[in-house]
Homo-oligomer: A and B are copies of this chain.
Amino acid sequence: MHKGRLEAFSDGVLAIIITIMVLELKAPHSAELSALKPLLPVLLSYILSFVYLGIYWNNHHHMFQATDHIGGAVLWANLHLLFWLSLFPFVTDWMGENHFATWPTALYGGVLFMAAMAYWNLQRVIIAQQGCDSILAKAVGKDLKGKLSPVLYAAAIAGAFVHGLIAQALYVLVALMWLVPDRRIERLLAAKKETHPNRADSAGP
């Protein structure tokens, strides 16, 4: 089975998810600058989700570049990931409209946690099909970021009940952890470029 249509379909779904979130940013009826003030938390939660979906698209892109052929199990593991990502607009909106209140903040973390699990599962299914010597298996390696993220999400969910800012800080921290490029991996990649030209550098958030 070719991976082309799976990539195209995933790109389509991710492009739509990332874009329909902005529909929640409804234009106020007043033309005053002060009318934008209540939209600030909605904008902030939009930016956070935009960055997370960007990270997922990025990592999805890398993972499938290191993947040659795909079986039926991969199709369903991928749809499972897309399902959790499709809940982003809902939780983003609930969190933004309620100014980062406790329960919406915790549920946001819950969806982040489930999406990370779904990504990890997708990675596991692909590696199972390709063997432990595959490019992807080697590239993922110990997958420290992939293991640390769900722990931090769980901590954020618990923290949300102490103070919302604890959870938000952890969400931003995990996003930064994935945004900041890992120089060590890049150096390894450059060194091994001849032997593994498609080496993926990381697992999902």
Residues of B within 8 A of A23 (CB): 20, 23, 89
From B15, B32, B75, contact of A103 by CB (8 A): B32
Q: Which of A90-98, A147-155, A168-176 lies at the interface with chain B?
A: A90-98
In the assembled complex, the CB of A85 is this many whole angstroms from the nearest CB of chain B, namely: 10
B179 touches A94 (CB 8 A): no
In the assembled complex, the CB of A89 is this many whole angstroms from the nearest CB of chain B, namely: 6
Is A144 interfacial (CB-CB < 8 Å)? no
Report how many residues on chain A are interfacial, defined by Cβ distance under 8 Å.
57
- Report the Cα distance A6→B8, complex, angstroms: 11
Is A166 interfacial (CB-CB < 8 Å)? no
Residues of B within 8 A of A18 (CB): 13, 82, 86
Given known A9-B14, A13-B18, A90-B25, contact A75–B61 (CB-CB < 8 A): yes
Residues of B within 8 A of A13 (CB): 15, 18-19
A102 touches B12 (CB 8 A): no
**A68-107 interface (Cβ within 8 A of B):** 72, 75-76, 79, 82-83, 86-87, 89-90, 93-94, 97-98, 101-104, 107
B5 touches A103 (CB 8 A): no
In the assembled complex, the CB of A133 is this many whole angstroms from the nearest CB of chain B, namely: 21
Residues of B within 8 A of A9 (CB): 11, 14-15, 57
Residues of B within 8 A of A31 (CB): 94, 98, 101-104
Residue in chain B with minimal CB distance to A33: B103
Residues of B within 8 A of A15 (CB): 9, 12-13, 15-16
From B11, B50, B54, B90, contact of A22 by CB (8 A): B90
18 A-B Cβ contacts within 8 A?
A5-B11, A7-B8, A8-B8, A9-B57, A12-B12, A12-B16, A13-B15, A15-B15, A18-B82, A19-B86, A20-B23, A22-B87, A33-B103, A36-B107, A50-B86, A57-B79, A58-B79, A72-B181
